Structure 1
Amino acid sequence: MNWEKLQNGSDIRGVALEGIEGEPVNLDKRIMHILGKSFIHWLKKRDYNSPITVSVGSDSRLSGPALKDAFMNGMKESGAKVFDCGLASTPAMFMSTVLGDQPTVAGVMLTASHLPFNRNGLKFFTRRGGLDKKDISEILSIAKQPNFETSEKTFDVERKEFMLEYSEYLVSYIRKTASLKSNYDKPLKGLKIIVDAGNGAGGFFASKVLAQLGANTHGSQFLEPNGNFPNHIPNPEDKVAMQSICEAVLKEKADLGIIFDTDVDRSAIVDASGKPINRNALIALISTVILGEHPGSTIVTDSITSDGLNHFIEKDLKGKHHRFKRGYKNVINEAVRLNESGEESWLAIETSGHAALKENFFLDDGAYLVAKLLVEMARLNEENKTLPALISALKQPCESREIRFNIKKSDFKEYGLSVLEQLETEVASEKGWEVVSPNYEGIRVKCSSSDEQGWFLLRLSLHDPVMPLNIESNVGGGVNKIKERLAHIFAQFNGLDLKSFNLQ
């Protein structure tokens, strides 16, 4: 058993079901049982008082029930007191460690986010937040050499309706923060807001949050959990998924559309005109709210955010934009680091829709992000104003494209770094191109020629033998102009598969 292969950064992920050629199952009930024991062993090494309490939830994946039972039994046999939270969201499983009269020592979520039906995995939390990469490595090391003692005292697994408690927490937050004099209990009264859960775990938001606040949710779609994901991939970055919610907003004449990923740690919204507010626009919108509350604060984003967003945050909102690395944990940890060093940062957000707020434990919670925006929407609605008006000054790129190069070398990390080094050398001789600094990931280059007016970023993927290239331009045809100039440079990199580059 290759335990290390189950590690995906700060998560565990694997193939849980057969059905896709070339993807053998490596996350079955036996493995999950061992992982349950390993996690409790990991917790015991941190001197938590017995019995250790753990809440466990899962998304709508087909493999969820069987794998969850095996995982919970492993923890139970190790002496833990386990609470089964049923269908849940990832953020809720963290909140189970801090919310209510009897928070648990740890929370675990079975999910593989937006990945195909055959995948599953585990996300772990303690009251300090999500586990880091080194913690997952340690848990897998424990699993590799299992030598566990069965506890003399065991507890029955108890059912816990925590999603109701978590929903009430969101409802209370929106009511108190909006604090409308005319409609305190129903701040969303008169608004039609629909949800697309993509048959994941986010369906609760329509009935248990929006409806409780007075919103009309008629027309919400794909709320029923279904691990086959028959309608579209539950992913706010997926074009088909976004088109689906945009069309639903127009059909239903809704004031707002909300879309979640499978386990609700990411989200995006759609305005009344059917226009998506995601990626740079979503970052701009929540930054407007945050910088209204905390003027001058630093907004931490990932590396591929646009120049227009940078201008909007720093010039229009008078905040500070700190463009860091891809990976939601990287972005969150950087915001935490800045705060510890004395630089105030209230928001860490990726273009993928992962958003973590300091006020909410720096937890990447798609539902809380939407709740924050709903507060603003309720307030603006009383003044006959709308959310999109807050970002009317945001300059969107005319064109953008992402191209992903597979690395054909076995030592892909070393080769990728050599490509970046050579690219930086080549850029120095290109007229109108300038390496951007500071830059924390890959090589970002400003392209100032009149027919380009944009930038590109080449970076090395965090885990895979892939080099993504992002290009943006503020003029028509600019992306192709930048791409044409890159072509002769990339031709010398024989370790890259250039098929995708030549086809686009």
Structure 2
Amino acid sequence: MTDLNQLQNGSDIRGIAITAEGYTANLEQQQVERIAKGIITWLKQEKGVTHTPITIAIGQDSRLSGESIKQWLIDAFMTEDIHVIDVGLSTTPAMFMATQFPEFNADCGIMITASHLPFYYNGIKLFTKDGGAEHEDIEFILEHAPETFEKTNVVGHVEEKEVLSAYSKDLVDKIIAQTQSDKPLEGFKIVLDAGNGAGGFFAEKVLETLGADTTGSQFLDPDGHFPNHIPNPDNKEAMASIKEAVLANHADLGVIFDTDVDRAAVVDKSGEVINRNNLIAVLATIVLNDYPGATIVTNSPTSSHLKTFIEGLNGKQVRYLCGYRNVINKGIELNSQGIDVPLSIETSGHAAFKENYFLDDGAYVVAKILMLLPKLKQQNLELSDLIADLKQPAETTEVRFKISGADYKLLGESIIDAMHDLVAETPGFIIDMDNEEGIRTTVFDHFGQGWFLLRMSLHEPLLVLQVENDVDGKNKAVLETLLSFFSRYDFLNTDQLNKELEG
């Protein structure tokens, strides 16, 4: 029997739902039904849901295994007094909003998704009216998932009711209220790339409703094979695809979502890609205009230039741990301490606004940008003009080192500890103390001008090295020095670093 604990992925559940490409399925009917019973116990014992029936809304993205997993959840829920709302195709943010919209009033929202991972993966994200599940919640659910249970009684009830129309109307109403226009996007051509995920609705239900011409939009039809590109706004091929569509259609803006629409990025009319540090800078500009002097929480691998940019807007940046729940929770924590944090955002595109339940919502990110477009047009400005002062590095490199051994976390942390000695003894390296994850080092003199960050991967046996430099060609000098350090450890695979240096 599958050890359910191996299905925990931080604050989500994730596994192999389809045996393929050498991967054996471990998220099948038996595991899903057990998880369903664990969810019920969690809602009753940990979330304090005492009324009956308990209302659970369930939706899925375009993954091939989504319908099966949903049905297995429903079958298990039907053995108890549960009112299931089957919303069909949905997005992660919409499933949270199903706990907020009065016409759904769900005690729990379940989203079946594995974000941008290959087609054979799938998983479960959970929400209550208070927000997303935490790491500890998933632990509780998996620990309270019974090995067997009685399936004969059918006492629950299933209702079919789609949620994306209500979710879209909520976004449209907010954009209209902010712009004070029923058709604020009239005269704009906006191209959407949904990556064959769940975000295709946004073209018709939001962009066209607000007056935009969406000619040239691509990959709007749900297809769990993801035949065109990885649905990931942090992926170079995906961003190249939407950039090409913007330029080919002479669009004013390009929008791209990941599979379950909790992340987004955009491309301006000139083809400039606005993701990662650039997206953080744009959104920081928006929120600091509304909340002068506020603090933006990000994850650790942001550019040093981003900090300079935010401080130039009279804002503050807190670099925190990777992991979208970590970044969101840090923003919530600081707000509770009286520090104004209107935005928490990761370089991957997970962005959560205080004004929007601190929900990481890619469509809401785009809505914030859409609210700004008419004003920029009046001022004869482009989106990229907002970040003209954000300096761009000449070189960026990311290297991942696989760690062998069962105690990979301890081994990885031992390397990070040893890196402190290397930095101390290397002229041109100095530790950057404004960091809470791994070790961040400023490089200078013959290493150029930049920084590198070495940290543990959140969920995999990997060390992740990120290097940026303002001097073209100098990342190689940094990597050469680090290669001799990493080569000391026989449990560390340095193949990718060697390829970088050879290339």
TM-score normalised by the chain length of structure 1: 0.96
Query: Matched residue of 1:496: which SS?
Result: coil
In structure 2, the residue matched to 1:322 is 318
Residue number among 464, 469, 479 corresponding to 1:483 in the alignment: 479
Note if contact 2:34-2:147 (Cα within 8 Å) is conserved in structure 1.
no
Amino acid at match of 2:161: K
Query: Is the partner of 2:456 in helix, strand or coil?
Result: coil
1:497 paired with 2:499, answer: no
Specify the SS of the correspondent of 2:445.
coil
Give the Cα–Cα distance (whole angstroms) in 1 for the partners of residues 385 and 103 of structure 2: 41
Alignment-derived partner of residue 28 in structure 2: 28
Say which SS state the counterpart of residue 177 (structure 1) adopts: helix
Deviations 1:239-296 (A, max 9, x none): 1111110000000000000000000000000010112101000000000000000011
Amino acid at match of 1:140: L
Which whole-Å CA distance do the structure 2 matches of 1:139 and 1:178 have between them?
Answer: 43
Counterpart of 1:82 in structure 2: which amino acid? Answer: V
Q: Does the aligned pair in 2 maintain the 1:436–1:446 contact within 8 Å? A: yes
Please state whether the residue corresponding to 1:190 is helix, strand or coil.
coil
Distance in 2 separating the partners of 1:405 and 1:85: 41
| Cα distance in 1 for residues equivalent to 2:148 and 2:370 | 48
Q: Are 1:12 and 2:13 counterparts?
A: yes
Checking the alignment, whether the CA contact within 8 Å between 2:268 and 2:274 is kept in structure 1 is: yes
Aligned to 1:108: 110
1:341 Cα offset (Å):
1.2
Residue 148 of structure 1: CA displacement?
A: 6.5
Structure 2 unaligned runs (5+)?
none
Corresponding residue of 2:403: 407
2:142 to 140, 143, 151: 140
Q: What is aligned with 2:351?
A: 355
Q: Paired residue for 2:169?
A: 168
**1:64-105 deviation per Cα after TM superposition (whole angstroms, max 9, x unaligned):** 111111112212222110001100000000011012344211
Q: Secondary structure at the match of 2:94?
A: helix
Equivalent AA in structure 2 for residue 167 of structure 1:
S
1:250 aligns with 2:251: no
SS at 1:143's partner residue? coil
Structure 1: how far apart are the matches of 2:104 and 2:120?
35
2: CA distance, partners of 1:126 / 1:378: 36
How many Å separate the matches in 1 of 2:129 and 2:374? 32
Which residue is equivalent to 2:159? 158
Q: Using the alignment, how far apart are the partners of 1:70 and 1:266 within structure 2?
A: 27
Range with greater deviation from structure 2 (445-454 or 333-342): 445-454
* In 1: Cα distance, 2:446 partner to 2:293 partner: 33
SS class of match (1:336): helix
Deviation at 1:369, TM superposition (A): 0.4
Which position in structure 2 is the counterpart of 1:303? 300
8 Å contact from structure 1 (residues 397, 472) kept in 2: yes
One-letter amino acid of the structure 1 residue matched with residue 302 of structure 2 = T
Deviates more, 1:135-144 or 1:303-312: 135-144
Partners in 1 of 2:340 and 2:145 — Cα distance?
39
Which residue pairs with 1:337 in the alignment? 333
- Partner SS for 2:70: helix
| AA aligned opposite 1:486 | L
1:30 Cα offset (Å): 2.6
Give the CA deviation at 1:442: 0.2
**Stretch moving more, 374-383 or 465-474:** 374-383
Q: Is the 8 A contact 1:200 1:226 kept in 2?
A: yes
Kindly state the Cα deviation for residue 449 of structure 1 after the two structures are TM-superposed. 1.4
Task: Please say if 1:259 is aligned against 2:261.
Answer: no
Aligned 8 A contact 1:36 1:73 in 2: no
Question: Is residue 2:363 matched to residue 1:367?
Answer: yes
Using the TM superposition, name which of 407-416 and 193-202 deviates more: 407-416
- Equivalents in 2 of 1:146, 1:378: separation in Å? 58
- 1:37 touches 1:148 (CA, 8 Å); kept in 2? no
Distance 2:104 2:201 in 1: 23
Are 2:450 and 1:454 equivalent residues in the alignment? yes
CA contact (8 A) 1:90 1:109 kept: yes
Q: Distance in 2 between matches of 1:144 and 1:126?
A: 22
Query: Aligned to 1:384, what secondary structure does the other structure show?
Result: coil
| Deviations, residues 305-327 of structure 1 (Å, cap 9, x unaligned) | 0011110001x211001011111
* Counterpart residue number, 1:177: 178
| Cα drift, residue 149 of structure 1 | 8.7
- Return the TM-score normalized by structure 2: 0.97
Task: Summarize deviations over 1:23-44 as a string: whole Å, max 9, x none.
Answer: 1111112322222222112112
Query: Which residue in 1 is equivalent to 2:391?
Result: 395
Aligned residue identity for 2:385: A
Aligned to 1:68: 70
The answer (yes or no) to whether the contact 1:37–1:78 under 8 Å persists in 2 is: no
Give the match for residue 215 of structure 1. Answer: 212
Ranges in structure 1 where 5+ consecutive residues have no aligned partner: none
Residues 116-142 of structure 1 deviation map (CA, whole Å, 9 limit, x = unaligned): 111111000001111001100110111
Aligned residues of 1:284 and 1:313 also touching (Cα < 8 A): yes
Q: Secondary structure at the match of 1:446?
A: strand
Local SS of the residue matching 1:456: strand
- 3-state SS of the aligned residue for 2:398? strand
Q: Secondary structure at the match of 1:237?
A: coil
Cα distance change, pair 146–339 in 1 and its aligned pair in 2 (3 A): farther
- Native 8 Å contact 1:451 1:477 kept in 2: no
Aligned residues: 497
Q: Aligned partners of 2:223 and 2:71: how far apart in 1?
A: 19
Instruction: Give the Cα separation in 1 of the matches to 2:14 and 2:53.
Output: 28
The separation in 2 between residues aligned to 1:141 and 1:75, in whole angstroms, is 18
Task: Report the equivalent of 2:98.
Answer: 96
Distance 1:280 1:404 in 2: 20
Structure 2: distance between partners of 1:190 and 1:293: 26
